[in-house]
Structure formats: structure tokens, C-alpha cells
Amino acid sequence: MLRIVLCVAAIAFALPAPAEEPINIEKWPDDVPCDKLKKNADGSYEMTVPWARFYTIHTSGKWKNTRETAYWDQKCNGKTQ
């Protein structure tokens, strides 16, 4: 009986957590929330959550020295992670 309880408990706690719902980006890069970006020491930006654009889900992204990074430098000054 104890083995059954332990097996059920192991299965219950081993289930993966539900994935975070991706944020929808309709107007790039305007719709990217500053609090979902991480600015690295080298000046690059990373998206910290899944995001969707044109029905495609992306789980990550990194940008450096692009028009997006120049825009986010102005828009998100001090508001990133």
C-alpha cells in the first residue's frame, strides 16, 4: 500500500508545470513590453518569455546592434530586467 501511495505521489509531483502563454506581438518592435526584455552588459537584448508573431511562437531571441536595440534603448531606458 505504501508503494502505491509513493508511486502516485511521485507521478503527481513529476508533472511539468504549465507553459507560460506567449505574448502576442502585432507591431514589431513597439509591442514588446520593456519588462519582458533583458539588457545584457554587451548591449544586446534578450526576450525573457515566449512570444508570438504572425502565428509563429518563438521561445527566445537575442538582438545586438540592430534598429530594434536602438529603439528599445530609447523606449525602455532603465525599465528592462
What is the Cα–Cα distance from 45 to 10, expressed in whole angstroms? 39
Cα distances from 26 to residues 43, 52, 54, in angstroms, run 25, 8, 8
Q: Which pLDDT does position 77 carry in this prediction?
A: 87
- Cβ atoms of 22 and 57 within 8 Å: the answer is yes
Domain ranges of the chain: 22-81
Q: Which pLDDT does position 8 carry in this prediction?
A: 59
Can you give the pTM of this predicted structure?
0.70
**Which grid cell sits at 28?**
514589431
What is the Cα–Cα distance from 77 to 33, expressed in whole angstroms? 12
Q: Can you tell me the mean pLDDT for 4-18?
A: 57
Q: Can you tell me the mean pLDDT for 7-21?
A: 60
Beta strands, E only, 4-73: 23-24, 37-39, 45-47, 51-53, 56-58, 62-63
Count CA atoms closer than 13 A to 17's CA, side-chain side. 3
pLDDT in tens, 31-79: 999 999 999 999 999 999 999 999 899 998 899 999 999 999 999 988 8
